[in-house]
Amino acid sequence: MIDIKILRTNPSLVLESIQKRNLKIDLDALLRLDAERLAIQQELENLQAERNRVSKEIPTISDATKRQSKISEMKVVGDRIKNIETTLSETDEAYKLGLASLPNFLDPTTAIGADDSGNVVEKTVGIPRSFDFPIKAHYEIGEARGWIDIEKGAEVSGARFWYLKGDLVLLQFAIINYVMSEMVNQGFVPMIPPYLVREPAMYGTGFFPADRSQIYEVNPGEDDLFLIGTSEVPVTSYHSGEIVDVENTIKYLGYSTCFRREAGTYGKDMKGILRGHQFDKIEMVCFAKPEDSHRVHDEMVALEESIWSSLGIPYHKLNVCSGDLGNPAMKKYDLEAWMPAQNQYREVTSCSNVGSFQSRRLGIRYRKEDGNLDYVHTLNGTVIAFSRCLIAIMENYQNEDMTVTIPEVLRPYMGGRERI
């Protein structure tokens, strides 16, 4: 959520973000709704004040006829107050929904573009391997080795589900242990959060209302719970309504299974385990002072790069442009890893500085040196999304006999094995 004061005093700044993000939001209509809401509120307060004043006056009126006349007038005022309260409630609800649809302000260093074609490659690391044998896709290797069973996944759960088995599962746990060890050494506190959350957590982190269509809802009207699409949601919500100490940046490392409906992606990336309704992920979530958040963002991206560099996977770093940003982010970097069978780079991490967008919604504040309270800045970044990491390792480290060489940094976590 953006600062309402800025919306009222400098709407052009809000409009700039909307236009650069290529969004279709009627800001003028929202401003009119805000003015209407304030006018209704003022009328309500005037009528309430009048009723309070006359209510005190009535007992002092000695003339019965005049007293009854005032009582009748106040009944009319009371009815008017009830009607205005209903109108105000409806107007307020519409205004809050409109306000919730507004995106965050953009960081000045964010690339400007209409869609993902405007993303800017800032760095390329590693050289894609040259193969002297025909390259196999990860799903060909996985199915041949008995590691991936997409057919059974579809039979049991439907499209975009799969079973992982055998050595590929052991490899995933090796990645988990390696990444956890590296990140704990950087001061991150590991956390396994709830996978089901209430609506305020989804709203507070900015996934509602914009991305509601991507979220699985559990027993609507009964449990009113939602499956998380990322541990960012419950981990960021952990400090909801609190005043936190961010003299030293708070750093959490959330591990979770994630669930996404993938609405609007029919027919896209249907082969293999690149895009699914369920996957596991390790996510950084940080809480920082506003003046520290740019530095913290850079540090988080550097940690992502360090992990992927250590795995020996070629990647490039993208400055995600305005038209490809989600509403909460004011600046985001993606890492895209080289996938040999697809002959292209594919997204494997993202890291966003969200500023105070989430903390305003969730009520997470800190006390400044002058004693006043202000909203913290929140940041989040994927360290590893396991299905895509497994793809990158299988395809980049494949051998002609369909064995896969284990990246050196993972071998201590695989009992010293060099291949699977």
Task: Calculate Rg over the CA atoms of the chain.
Answer: 27
- Tokens (6 digits) for 316: 């490039």
Catalytic residue among 145, 275, 346, 367: 275
Closest CA to 196 of 232, 251, 234, 169: 234
Segments of 215-265 assigned E as strands:
217-218, 225-227, 250-259
Please, is 62 exposed, middle or buried when counting C-beta atoms within 10 Å of its C-beta (0-12, 13-18, 19+)?
exposed
Catalytic residue among 160, 361, 365, 388: 388
Known catalytic membership, residue 32? no
Beta bridge pairs of residue 148? 164
- Tokens (6 digits) for 345: 């780079």
Catalytic residue among 260, 283, 352, 395: 260
The Cα diameter of the chain in Å comes to 107
Known catalytic membership, residue 122? no
Cis-peptide into 209, omega within 30 deg:
yes
Closest CA to 251 of 330, 331, 191: 191
Please, is 74 exposed, middle or buried when counting C-beta atoms within 10 Å of its C-beta (0-12, 13-18, 19+)?
middle
Beta bridge pairs of residue 26? none
CA distance 206 to 212: 10
Catalytic residue among 350, 352, 359, 387: 350
Known catalytic membership, residue 350? yes
Known catalytic membership, residue 17? no
Beta bridge pairs of residue 352? 332, 380
Known catalytic membership, residue 346? no
What is the total residue count of the chain? 420
Q: Work out the number of other CB atoms within 10 angstroms of the CB of residue 294.
A: 16
Which residues neighbour 407 within 8 Å (Cβ) at sequence distance 6 or greater?
310, 311, 312, 393, 397
- Tokens (6 digits) for 275: 């895009």
Residues acting as catalytic residues: 260, 275, 347, 350, 388
